[in-house]
């Protein structure tokens, strides 16, 4: 007994229908891609070390390229079709609307597959996601950037920002540590940072080689060489959890308020949108409430460090 | 035409398990022709000792990757008869349907994957995927249907999960049964196409008189249980399987040999056909006739055709079984039972022939003694003597070494031997 | 190979079987609808069950079955020497499988029972990794073809070829099955690695653990569970021993 | 909302018309467990006879109709050195009969997470929009504690909700679709007496709860008791089997995986529901596990369920159906765990005079 009167009509969802059924859709997500990625062309790949490469991407569609804007500290989900997607910090200048740069370490299966890609191939990105470093709030102060290993990747965006707005900041120090000299990333940019951006760069390695002329040891030892005006300093610390724990508690003892220190957390992620819950720390999502947190929040998050 | 020839095939390909063929001809005279199974023995009869009856079918199904349903059902039948358990009728129908699925799957696998390349002159099916894609797809469609029936009735294509003592643990849903029925109807053209193709092949002419053994229950083309009969007129009760097989050891083979009224006997599709052809469905009859297949046929190569005929029967009969399950609204699919001591044989017609499991249980329903006699075991002697006759004939006809080798391989394959099964 | 964006190479593939029922190899011929695509990923160098061709220049060897004779050990070592990747294929290869039940008896007893008076060689059953390094394990009795397809695709494309780390219960719940513990049975689902789509419990028979232990299982809690429900200990032992997959977790 | 009453016989005719003409699911008896209790699940139904209207509760929730256990999110097609990504938000209409108030509350919570947040999920929305939800009230089972979480009644999130007032059902009609369909059937305006019966029914339901779980200030208790030995105690029992999250109506954590199609001409991006109790939930590249211990992971489930989630400060996700408690083989259930935690708290207050300094 088929009676069409009782058959529920199917409501298909196209973009418009979707937008109209969620009142705040336009405000929040119009410019964001969630399920579908922005297609990007890999325009250049630089081998930084045998473990890290710098990928330069360009969003293919001009209109999408115009729309895509991000703030220093944010990340995106980089997708290699067939392999999967991974969260990666954006490592280029937020003012650069032509290209995106991602500094990627070969860590697992998606990143390994990425290492086999070549310029000309296409990948997808979703985002940008997450919180950012409060560059405006920092203005008028000294800035202390501390990076350990790959931690330099999320620091490049604020570095670019500082360079573009150099007059708004007083002293800017970058303390950068790695295991070995060969693992220091972006050494080709060191001169530029020092001379053009007027950033005081201090590098340190755990294991020096014959040519190494800078300091040797753990990153905290670099603090001996600089004086910090705790009242007027903001700090951004990126690196492995052990490192930022050490550094932040040191800075805490120096008297820098916890809400003026920023760290970027890392957790497993599958969506970037606060849904999959893989990145939850306490009741906080690393992907939408973070990855950038002030140290006060991190201290208050159970199981963050 | 005095000539020498020595053929030594180790680990015959495109059969299940490891077997060797050896032919030696000297001065135009056949000195030796042998079929030796060199499979590693697994000792299932020892393994089941002490196992609870409930678990036994899950173990014995692992005797064979192709006819696991038959093994499970042979054990179940032996144990149910030993402990006087009567499964509900609906469960019996599901089991019977499962046997149909397995047989179709196994026959399609043999006809298309294992035997067909011989006729086509290729080393295997993969080249045929490129040269005769339609034909291969036809075979795959038939095989898939067989698997789908097995999956629907037993939960999985290989190593059934829902065949249990006392019935079945889960019956296919009506929805699933309807889908199966549609699938059977849809795949009929594939079967007809395959039949048409096999008609174009030339089946070698070779006859060696032998005795064919199978089950017979007088009502249905045999799958589960019945009397043990032979084309030489022997009729025995299921429990008297030992007198039907008379297993004996030979020193060149890890699989045993059997005999009945003659030097050797055969089991399998051709044996079933020779003993039960009148119980075949209508279309199966027509197809058999179109190949000139009639009982008692003594050409072992015609086993391939008998398998094809059985595929037709399965198409017809599976549909009838599905109908009856669809009409049946009884929920009753499993009988509870109390373990007890007993002893009985369960005989089923596996795709390759009659399969016996004999089980003896103690008061707790644990197996104290088991004996399994596998169809391929019952065919070993027949293969062995076929090889002798075939090689002798071929030598006389002046065939080349390569031709003799190929014919010998083909005759062994036509039995669709399941060697790992025979060495269990 | 085919994919227009990435370049892949076919796997130079060989399949071998030892003591077993060859049911796992048979799975290669299953899932007929995707069979053509599946085989186009492989450059089959040796595969006795389906082809008469035999070449020894394979890179990846799928090894099915357990080891129970000295000639098998030699063949296995030779395979290891040739193969860049050796895959233990199926429960027998990964854990010894049902064949291991033989090990409860003396070898002489076995021979006397089945081959009285014949000089048949047989050794206690051993798994593949007892003799050679195994690069990848695909458990299952038989292996699940869907999973095999996924893993072969991963091997070809260089993407993730891993097994689920969680237990069968996850997949069992996806199928909306009634838990067999609630039906008064012991099921090894909570400690067994998923990936089979809970095929046994969906057929309403208990999981016997053919896929071996899941990652980081809580075995003491499992034993406690069985005890609390008052279920039969010898049944548990029979189940745990069925595939020899829980060797590392003795009960009692 | 529009209210009507309908005779039970007429109501069955209405349901029959709906389920016969749509793909429909309702509670059905699937098994009888070893204690003799009936086991129900939401299963396909094609006539009203198949629906067990007097069911107790389904073993698994109705979540998977909206958030399937496995789901394809998008497809990639490779061609000419390039690829295309296709996403389709398609869902076939489904009628769901017999959801309880707590089940519908759980859907409302999923709505909050998946729709009313930063990044609304279109695949979820497509299913939500195409599902016709008919709710039915019931008398609580001994272990239901939805009242403790105020989810024993529900006022949104369904198309139609029926309360059993004896001879008739009292209908709350919450969508024009439902209203239109009902026009074809004989319904009446509720009389004063009907209204009284409804009030009585509500009171009865409310009175009948036997299990109460005190969830007041639970978020802060959870915070304070982060290192409580309670977690170790229950963690030692946990089998890491994920059963709780699978049957829960509101657990939604997931995993995303991408796979090449077997012909390598395409790839799919798939979502699979996951559980924070599974061992590798928080494992990152290189193998570091942020939550290596059973207790950590178990705690996390409670933390997430009851500590609230970021965007809806203080809203608990748990609706109190106790499905997880019933399904858990290790006997872990929210009531015992939460009570344990509270005991912890209280005993501390009694035995320690001064609050210990926390580091
Ligand atoms: C906010 C954020 C920013 C990051 N920025 C960078 C960066 O700039 N450069 C860089 O090289 N790496 C970065 N990472 C780490 C990077 O995401 C992981 O190395 C990467 O996910 C590993 O993926 P895989 O598939 O190669 O590894 P596998 O071990 O094969 O991982 C399998 C899956 O697990 C998940 N996963 C595993 N490890 C991580 C992880 N550490 N974080 C999140 N998800 C993970 C992913 O979904 C991944 O696909 C960042 C991580 C986060 C959370
Ligand atoms: S039946 Fe087995 S696999 Fe399924 S939930 Fe229960 S214990 Fe787990
Ligand atoms: S349910 Fe258990 S025994 Fe069955 S296939 Fe899965 S892992 Fe193997
Ligand atoms: S009681 Fe358990 S299953 Fe029910 S909502 Fe709460 S956490 Fe989920």
Cβ separation C159–A113 shorter than 8 A: yes
Is C87 inside a domain boundary? yes
State which residues form the domain around C109. Answer: 11-157
Q: Does one domain contain both D139 and D26?
A: yes
Question: pLDDT by residue (tens digit) across B356-365?
Answer: 999 999 999 9
Cβ separation B124–C50 shorter than 8 A: yes
Closest C-alpha among D99, D95, D77, D78 to residue D86: D77
Task: Using the predicted structure, report yes or no on whether residue D357 has a pLDDT greater than 80.
Answer: no
Range among B233-247, C31-45, C73-87 rated most confident: C73-87
Q: pLDDT at position A169, please? A: 86
Residue A96 CA: distances (Å) to CA of A41, A167, A172, A275: 16, 20, 22, 30
Task: Using the predicted structure, report yes or no on whether residue A177 has a pLDDT greater than 70.
Answer: yes
Cβ atoms of residues A32 and A42 within 8 Å: no
Please state the domain count of chain C. 2
Q: What average pLDDT does the segment A97-114 reach?
A: 93
Banded model confidence at residue A124, pLDDT cuts 50, 70, 90: very high
Q: Does one domain contain both C45 and C152?
A: yes
Task: Using the predicted structure, report yes or no on whether residue A16 has a pLDDT greater than 80.
Answer: no
Cβ atoms of residues D5 and D188 within 8 Å: yes
Q: Measuring from each residue's beta carbon to the nearest atom of ligand 3, which residues come in under 6 Å?
A: C 168, 192, 196, 198-201, 207-211
Look over chain A and give the mean of its residue pLDDT values, rounded to a whole number.
85
Which of the residues D82, D114, D119 would you substitute to probe the A interface, choosing the one with the greatest number of A C-beta atoms within 10 Å? D119
Cβ separation B169–C20 shorter than 8 A: no
Pocket of ligand 2 contains residue C214 by CB under 6 Å: no
Cβ separation D255–A278 shorter than 8 A: yes
Q: Which of C157, C178, C199 is the last residue of a domain?
A: C157
Q: What average pLDDT does the segment B52-68 reach?
A: 94
Q: What average pLDDT does the segment B54-61 reach?
A: 96
Q: pLDDT at position B29, please? A: 83
Task: Using the predicted structure, report yes or no on whether residue A291 has a pLDDT greater than 70.
Answer: yes
Question: pLDDT by residue (tens digit) across B295-325?
Answer: 989 999 999 999 999 999 999 999 999 999 9
CA–CA separation, B262 vs B258, rounded Å? 10
**What value, to the nearest 5°, has the Cα angle with vertex B147 and ends B146 and B149?**
70
C116 or D209: which carries more pLDDT confidence?
Answer: D209
Q: Does one domain contain both D172 and D233?
A: no
* Contacts of B186 by beta carbon, 8 Å cutoff, 6+ apart: none
Q: What average pLDDT does the segment A223-247 reach?
A: 84
Q: pLDDT at position A74, please? A: 93
Distance from Cα D36 to the centre of ligand 2, integer Å: 19
Q: Does one domain contain both C131 and C199?
A: no
Q: Does one domain contain both C21 and C117?
A: yes
Task: Using the predicted structure, report yes or no on whether residue C161 has a pLDDT greater than 90.
Answer: no
Cβ separation C149–D275 shorter than 8 A: no
Is C57 inside a domain boundary? yes
Q: Does one domain contain both C45 and C108?
A: yes
CA–CA separation, D63 vs C166, rounded Å? 21
Banded model confidence at residue D213, pLDDT cuts 50, 70, 90: confident
Q: Which of C132, C157, C182 is the last residue of a domain?
A: C157
Could you tell me if A27 lies within 8 Å of chain D, comparing CB atoms?
A: no
Could you give phi then psi for residue B35, rounded to 5 degrees?
A: -120, 115
Is D358 inside a domain boundary? no
Q: What average pLDDT does the segment B212-223 reach?
A: 92
Banded model confidence at residue C252, pLDDT cuts 50, 70, 90: low
Element (H, E) at C111: helix C107-114
Q: Does one domain contain both D243 and D184?
A: no
> Which among A25, A120, A270 is the nearest to D256, CB-wise?
A270
Is C6 inside a domain boundary? no
Is D77 inside a domain boundary? no
Task: Using the predicted structure, report yes or no on whether residue B262 has a pLDDT greater than 90.
Answer: no
Strand pairing class (C42-47; C60-64): unpaired
Mind spelling out the 3-state secondary structure of chain B? Answer: CCCCEEEEECCCCCCECCEEEEEEEECCEEEEEEEEECCCCCCHHHHCCCCEHHHHHHHHHHHCCCCHHHHHHHHHHHHHHHCCCCCCHHHHHHHHHHHHHHHHHHHHHHHHHHHHHHHHCCCEHHHHHHHCHHHHHHHHHHHHHHHHHHHHHHCCCCCCCCEECCEECCCCCHHHHHHHHHHHHHHHHHHHHHHHHHHCCCCCCCCCCCEEEEEECCCCCCCECCEEEECCCCEECHHHHHHHHCCECCCCCCCCECCCCCCCEECCHHHHHHHHHHHCCHHHHHHHHHCCCCCCCCCHHHHHHHHHHHHHHHHHHHHHHHHHHHHCCCCCCECCCCCCCEEEEEEEEECCEEEEEEEEECCCCEEEEEEEECHHHHHHHHHHHHHHHHHHHHHHCCCCHHHHHHHHHHHHHHCCCEHHHHCC
CA–CA separation, B184 vs B224, rounded Å? 22
Q: Does one domain contain both C175 and C146?
A: no
Residue D164 C-alpha, separation from nearest chain A C-alpha, in angstroms? 23
**What value, to the nearest 5°, has the Cα angle with vertex D239 and ends D234 and D240?**
100
Q: Does one domain contain both C22 and C76?
A: yes
Is C246 inside a domain boundary? no
CA–CA separation, A179 vs A208, rounded Å? 8
Find the range with the poorest average confidence among B74-78, C205-209, D109-113.
D109-113
Q: Find the closest chain B residue to C140 by CA distance.
A: B159
Task: Using the predicted structure, report yes or no on whether residue A32 has a pLDDT greater than 80.
Answer: no
Distance from Cα C11 to the centre of ligand 1, integer Å: 28
Banded model confidence at residue B216, pLDDT cuts 50, 70, 90: very high
Q: Does one domain contain both D39 and D61?
A: yes
D88 or B99: which carries more pLDDT confidence?
Answer: B99
Sign of CA dihedral A135, A138, A143, A149: negative
Which of the residues B18, B47, B113 would you substitute to probe the C interface, choosing the one with the greatest number of C C-beta atoms within 10 Å? B47
Q: pLDDT at position D294, please? A: 85
Closest C-alpha among C145, C158, C157, C150 to residue C2: C157
Burial C31-61 (b: 16+ CB within 10 A, else e): bbeebbbbbbbbbbbbbbbbbbbeeeebbbb
Q: Which of C131, C157, C183 is the last residue of a domain?
A: C157
Q: Does one domain contain both C179 and C202?
A: yes
Question: pLDDT by residue (tens digit) across B21-47?
Answer: 988 988 878 888 888 887 778 889 889
Q: pLDDT at position A26, please? A: 43
Pocket of ligand 2 contains residue C168 by CB under 6 Å: yes
Could you tell me if A268 lies within 8 Å of chain D, comparing CB atoms?
A: yes
Q: How many Cβ atoms sit within 10 Å of the Cβ of residue B93?
A: 20
CA–CA separation, C5 vs B409, rounded Å? 45
CA–CA separation, B250 vs B256, rounded Å? 6
Look over chain C and give the mean of its residue pLDDT values, rounded to a whole number.
91
Banded model confidence at residue C123, pLDDT cuts 50, 70, 90: confident
Residues of A in contact with D303 (CB under 8 A): 282-283, 302
Q: Does one domain contain both D14 and D46?
A: yes
Is C204 inside a domain boundary? yes
* Contacts of C9 by beta carbon, 8 Å cutoff, 6+ apart: C1, C156
Find the range with the poorest average confidence among A99-103, A272-276, B207-211.
A272-276
Banded model confidence at residue B263, pLDDT cuts 50, 70, 90: confident
> Which among D132, D255, D281 is the nearest to A8, CB-wise?
D132
Q: Considering all CA atoms of chain A, what is the largest pairwise distance in Å, rounded to the nearest integer?
A: 88
Could you tell me if D39 lies within 8 Å of chain C, comparing CB atoms?
A: yes
- Residue B419: HSE in the Cβ half-sphere, 13 Å Cα cutoff: 25
Is D270 inside a domain boundary? yes
Q: What average pLDDT does the segment D340-353 reach?
A: 58
Please state the domain count of chain D. 2
CA B126, distance to chain mean position in Å, is 24
Cβ separation C159–A121 shorter than 8 A: no
Q: Does one domain contain both D18 and D62?
A: yes
Its ipTM equals: 0.90
Residue D325 CA: distances (Å) to CA of A27, A88, D145: 41, 39, 11
CATH number at residue C153: 3.40.50.700
Q: Which of D207, D226, D256 is the last residue of a domain?
A: D207
Is D83 inside a domain boundary? no
Which ligand does the CA of C140 lie closest to? 3
Q: Does one domain contain both D26 and D159?
A: yes
Q: What average pLDDT does the segment D106-131 reach?
A: 87
Q: What average pLDDT does the segment C199-215 reach?
A: 96
Sign of CA dihedral D186, D190, D193, D199: positive
Question: pLDDT by residue (tens digit) across B362-407?
Answer: 999 999 999 999 998 899 899 999 988 988 888 888 888 888 888 8
Percent of chain C's residues with pLDDT above 90: 67
Q: pLDDT at position D354, please? A: 44
* Contacts of C116 by beta carbon, 8 Å cutoff, 6+ apart: B249
Percent of chain B's residues with pLDDT above 70: 99
- The string of DSSP letters for A31-56 reads T-EEEEEEEEEEEEEEE-SSSEEEEE
Q: What average pLDDT does the segment A77-85 reach?
A: 93
Percent of chain C's residues with pLDDT above 70: 98
- Residue D247: HSE in the Cβ half-sphere, 13 Å Cα cutoff: 27
Q: Does one domain contain both D285 and D330?
A: yes
Element (H, E) at D205: helix D192-207
Banded model confidence at residue C2, pLDDT cuts 50, 70, 90: low
Burial B211-224 (b: 16+ CB within 10 A, else e): bbbbbbbeeebbbb
Is C51 inside a domain boundary? yes
Range among A279-288, B40-49, C132-141 rated most confident: C132-141
State which residues form the domain around D133. Answer: 2-72+90-207
A136 or B304: which carries more pLDDT confidence?
Answer: B304
Q: Does one domain contain both D222 and D281?
A: yes
Q: Does one domain contain both C33 and C144?
A: yes
Is D104 inside a domain boundary? yes
CA–CA separation, C160 vs C150, rounded Å? 9
Task: Using the predicted structure, report yes or no on whether residue D351 has a pLDDT greater than 50.
Answer: no
Is D82 inside a domain boundary? no
Q: pLDDT at position D300, please? A: 84
Q: pLDDT at position A158, please? A: 92
Q: Does one domain contain both C34 and C130?
A: yes
Q: Does one domain contain both D185 and D229?
A: no
The residues that bridge with D99 in the sheet, in sequence order, are D135
Cβ atoms of residues A104 and A47 within 8 Å: no
Q: pLDDT at position A249, please? A: 85
Pocket of ligand 2 contains residue C187 by CB under 6 Å: yes
Q: Find the closest chain B residue to C122 by CA distance.
A: B41
Which residues 242-271 of D have a C-beta within 8 angstroms of C?
Answer: 242-243, 246-247, 257-260, 262-265
Q: Does one domain contain both C16 and C124?
A: yes
Say how many CB pairs under 8 Å bridge C and D.
134
Q: Do chains A and B touch (3 or more CB pairs under 8 A)?
A: no
Q: Name which residue sits closest to atom 2 of ligand 4, judged by CA.
A: D324
Task: Using the predicted structure, report yes or no on whether residue A47 has a pLDDT greater than 70.
Answer: yes
> Is the entire prediction scored with pTM above 0.95?
no
Q: Does one domain contain both C147 and C23?
A: yes
CA–CA separation, B133 vs B110, rounded Å? 17
Banded model confidence at residue D309, pLDDT cuts 50, 70, 90: low
Q: Which of D183, D207, D231 is the last residue of a domain?
A: D207
Banded model confidence at residue A277, pLDDT cuts 50, 70, 90: confident
Is C1 inside a domain boundary? no
Question: pLDDT by residue (tens digit) across D123-135?
Answer: 888 899 899 999 9
Q: Which of D186, D207, D228 is the last residue of a domain?
A: D207
Q: Does one domain contain both D61 and D132?
A: yes
Residue B278 CA: distances (Å) to CA of B272, B284, B353, D346: 11, 10, 18, 84
Residue A47 CA: distances (Å) to CA of A52, A263, C29: 7, 27, 44
Cβ separation D118–A29 shorter than 8 A: yes
Q: Name which residue sits closest to atom 53 of ligand 1, judged by CA.
A: A266
Closest C-alpha among B398, B381, B375, B211 to residue B296: B211
Q: What average pLDDT does the segment B398-420 reach?
A: 87
Q: Does one domain contain both D276 and D199?
A: no
Cβ atoms of residues B53 and B129 within 8 Å: no
Question: pLDDT by residue (tens digit) across C11-51?
Answer: 999 999 998 888 999 899 889 889 989 999 999 998 877 77
CA B50, distance to chain mean position in Å, is 28
Could you tell me if C223 lies within 8 Å of chain D, comparing CB atoms?
A: no
Banded model confidence at residue B4, pLDDT cuts 50, 70, 90: confident
**Full set of structural domains in chain A with CATH:** 38-128 (2.40.30.10), 135-300 (3.40.50.80)
Closest approach atom of ligand 1 to CA A130: 1
Banded model confidence at residue C195, pLDDT cuts 50, 70, 90: very high
Which residues 254-273 of D have a C-beta within 8 angstroms of A?
Answer: 254-260, 267, 269
Q: pLDDT at position D359, please? A: 41
Task: Using the predicted structure, report yes or no on whether residue B334 has a pLDDT greater than 90.
Answer: yes
Is C42 inside a domain boundary? yes
Q: Does one domain contain both C19 and C117?
A: yes
Q: Do chains C and B touch (3 or more CB pairs under 8 A)?
A: yes
């Amino acid at each position: 007994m088929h009676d069409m009167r009782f058959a529920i009509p199917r409501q298909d969802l196209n973009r418009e229908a979707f937008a109209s059924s969620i009142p705040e859709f336009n405000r929040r997500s119009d410019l964001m891609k969630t399920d579908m990625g922005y297609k990007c062309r890999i325009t250049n790949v630089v081998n930084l070390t045998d473990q890290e490469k710098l990928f330069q991407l360009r969003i293919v569609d001009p209109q999408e390229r115009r729309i895509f804007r991000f703030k220093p500290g944010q990340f995106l989900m980089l997708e290699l079709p067939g392999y999967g997607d991974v969260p990666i910090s954006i490592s280029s200048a937020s003012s650069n609307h032509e290209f995106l740069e991602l500094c990627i370490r070969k860590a697992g299966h998606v990143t390994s597959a990425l290492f086999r890609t070549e310029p000309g191939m296409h990948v997808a990105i979703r985002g940008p996601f997450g919180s950012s470093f409060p560059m405006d709030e920092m203005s008028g102060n000294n800035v202390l950037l501390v990076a350990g290993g790959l931690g330099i990747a999320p620091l490049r965006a604020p570095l670019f920002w500082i360079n573009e707005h150099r007059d708004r900041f007083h002293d800017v120090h970058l303390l950068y540590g790695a295991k070995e000299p060969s693992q220091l990333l972006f050494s080709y940019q060191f001169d530029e940072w020092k001379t053009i951006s007027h950033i005081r760069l201090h590098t340190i390695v755990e294991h020096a080689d014959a040519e190494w002329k800078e300091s040797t040891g753990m990153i905290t030892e670099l603090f001996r060489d600089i004086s910090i005006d705790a009242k007027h300093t903001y700090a951004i610390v990126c690196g492995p959890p052990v490192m930022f724990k050490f550094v932040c508690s040191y800075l805490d003892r120096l008297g820098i308020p916890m809400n003026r220190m920023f760290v970027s957390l890392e957790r497993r992620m599958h969506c970037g949108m606060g849904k999959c819950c893989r990145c939850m720390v306490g009741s906080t999502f690393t992907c939408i409430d973070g990855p950038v947190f002030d140290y006060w929040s991190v201290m208050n998050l159970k199981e963050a460090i | 035409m005095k000539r020498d020839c020595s053929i030594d095939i180790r680990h015959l390909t495109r059969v299940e398990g490891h077997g060797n063929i050896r032919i030696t001809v000297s001065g135009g005279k056949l000195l030796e022709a042998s079929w030796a199974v060199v499979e590693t023995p697994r000792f299932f009869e020892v393994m089941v000792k002490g196992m609870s009856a409930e678990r036994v079918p899950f173990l014995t199904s692992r005797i064979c990757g192709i006819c696991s349903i038959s093994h499970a059902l042979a054990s179940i039948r032996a144990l149910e008869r030993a402990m006087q358990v009567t499964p509900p009728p609906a469960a019996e129908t599901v089991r019977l349907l499962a046997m149909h699925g397995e047989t179709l799957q196994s026959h399609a696998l043999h006809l298309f994957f294992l035997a067909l390349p011989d006729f086509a002159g290729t080393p295997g099916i993969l080249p045929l995927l490129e040269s005769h894609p339609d034909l291969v797809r036809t075979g795959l469609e038939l095989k898939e249907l067989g698997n789908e029936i097995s999956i629907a009735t037993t939960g999985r294509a290989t190593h059934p999960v829902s065949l249990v003592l006392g019935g079945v643990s889960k019956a296919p849903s009506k929805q699933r049964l309807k889908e199966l029925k549609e699938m059977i109807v849809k795949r009929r053209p594939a079967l007809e196409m395959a039949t048409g193709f096999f008609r174009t092949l030339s089946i070698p002419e070779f006859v060696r008189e032998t005795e064919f053994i199978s089950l017979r229950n007088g009502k249905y083309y045999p799958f589960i249980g019945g009397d043990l009969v032979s084309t030489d007129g022997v009729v025995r009760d299921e429990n008297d399987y030992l007198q039907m097989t008379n297993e004996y050891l030979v020193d060149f083979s890890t699989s045993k040999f059997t005999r009945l009224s003659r030097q050797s006997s055969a089991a399998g599709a051709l044996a079933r056909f020779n003993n039960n052809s009148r119980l075949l469905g209508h279309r199966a009859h027509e197809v058999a006739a179109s190949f000139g297949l009639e009982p008692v046929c003594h050409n072992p190569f015609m086993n391939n055709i008998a398998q094809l005929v059985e595929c037709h029967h399965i198409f017809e009969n599976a549909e009838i079984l599905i109908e009856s399950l669809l009409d049946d609204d009884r929920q009753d699919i499993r009988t509870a039972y109390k373990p007890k001591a007993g002893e009985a044989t369960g005989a089923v017609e596996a795709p390759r022939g009659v399969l016996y499991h004999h089980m003896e249980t103690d008061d707790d329903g644990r197996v104290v003694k088991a004996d399994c006699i596998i169809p391929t075991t019952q065919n070993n002697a027949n293969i062995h003597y076929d090889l002798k006759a075939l090689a002798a004939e071929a030598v006389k006809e002046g065939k080349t070494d390569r031709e003799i080798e190929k014919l010998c391989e083909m005759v062994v394959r036509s039995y669709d031997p399941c060697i790992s099964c025979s060495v269990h | 190979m085919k994919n227009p964006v990435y370049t892949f190479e076919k796997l130079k593939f060989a399949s071998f079987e030892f003591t077993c029922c060859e049911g796992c190899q048979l799975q290669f011929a299953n899932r007929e609808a995707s069979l053509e695509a599946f085989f186009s990923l492989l450059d089959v160098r040796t595969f006795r069950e389906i082809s008469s061709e035999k070449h020894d220049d394979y890179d990846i060897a799928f090894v099915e079955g357990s080891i129970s004779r000295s000639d098998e050990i030699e063949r296995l070592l030779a395979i290891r020497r040739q193969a860049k990747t050796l895959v233990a294929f199926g429960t027998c290869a990964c854990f010894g499988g049902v064949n291991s039940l033989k090990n409860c008896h003396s070898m002489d007893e076995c021979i006397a029972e089945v081959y009285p008076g014949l000089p048949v060689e047989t050794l206690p059953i051993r798994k593949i990794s007892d003799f050679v390094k195994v690069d990848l394990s695909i458990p299952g009795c038989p292996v699940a073809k869907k999973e095999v397809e996924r893993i072969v695709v991963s091997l070809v494309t260089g993407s993730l070829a891993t097994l689920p780390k969680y237990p069968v219960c996850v997949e069992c719940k996806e199928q909306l099955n009634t838990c067999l513990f609630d039906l008064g049975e012991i099921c090894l689902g909570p400690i067994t690695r998923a990936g089979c789509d809970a095929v046994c419990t969906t057929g309403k028979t208990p999981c016997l653990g053919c896929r071996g232990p899941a990652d980081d299982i809580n075995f003491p809690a499992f034993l406690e569970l069985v005890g609390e429900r008052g279920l039969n200990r010898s049944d548990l032992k029979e189940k745990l021993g069925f595939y020899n997959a829980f060797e590392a977790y003795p009960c009692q | 909302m529009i209210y009507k009453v309908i005779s039970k016989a007429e109501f069955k005719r209405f349901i029959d018309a709906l389920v016969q003409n749509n793909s429909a699911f309702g509670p059905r008896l699937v098994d009888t467990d070893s204690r003799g209790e009936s086991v129900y699940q939401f299963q396909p139904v094609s006539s009203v006879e198949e629906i067990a209207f007097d069911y107790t509760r389904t073993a698994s929730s109705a979540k998977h109709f909206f958030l399937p256990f496995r789901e394809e999110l998008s497809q990639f097609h490779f061609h000419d050195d390039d690829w295309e990504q296709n996403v389709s938000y398609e869902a076939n209409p489904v009628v769901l009969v017999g959801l309880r108030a707590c089940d519908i509350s759980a859907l409302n919570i999923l709505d909050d997470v998946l729709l009313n947040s930063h990044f609304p999920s279109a695949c979820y929305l497509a299913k939500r929009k195409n599902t016709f939800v008919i709710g039915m009230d019931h008398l609580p089972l001994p272990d239901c504690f939805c009242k403790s979480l105020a989810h024993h009644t529900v006022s949104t999130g369904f198309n139609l909700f029926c309360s059993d007032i004896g001879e008739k059902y009292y209908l709350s009609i919450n969508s024009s679709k439902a209203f239109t369909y009902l026009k074809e059937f004989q319904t009446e305006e509720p009389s004063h007496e009907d209204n009284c019966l409804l009030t009585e029914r509500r009171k009865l339901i409310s009175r009948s709860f036997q299990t109460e779980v005190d969830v007041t200030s639970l978020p802060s208790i959870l915070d304070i008791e982060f290192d409580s030995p309670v977690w170790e105690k229950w963690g030692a029992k946990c089998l890491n089997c994920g059963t709780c999250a699978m049957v829960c109506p509101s657990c939604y954590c997931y995993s995303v995986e991408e796979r090449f199609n077997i012909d390598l001409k395409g790839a799919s991006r798939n979502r699979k529901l996951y559980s924070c109790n599974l061992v590798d939930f928080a494992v990152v590249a290189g193998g570091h596990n942020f939550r290596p211990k059973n207790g950590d992971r178990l705690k996390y489930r409670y933390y997430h369920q009851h500590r609230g989630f970021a965007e809806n400060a203080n809203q608990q996700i748990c609706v109190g159906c106790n499905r997880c408690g019933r399904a858990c083989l290790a006997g872990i259930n929210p009531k015992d765990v939460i009570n344990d935690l509270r005991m912890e708290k209280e005993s501390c207050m009694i035995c320690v005079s001064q609050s210990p300094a926390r580091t």
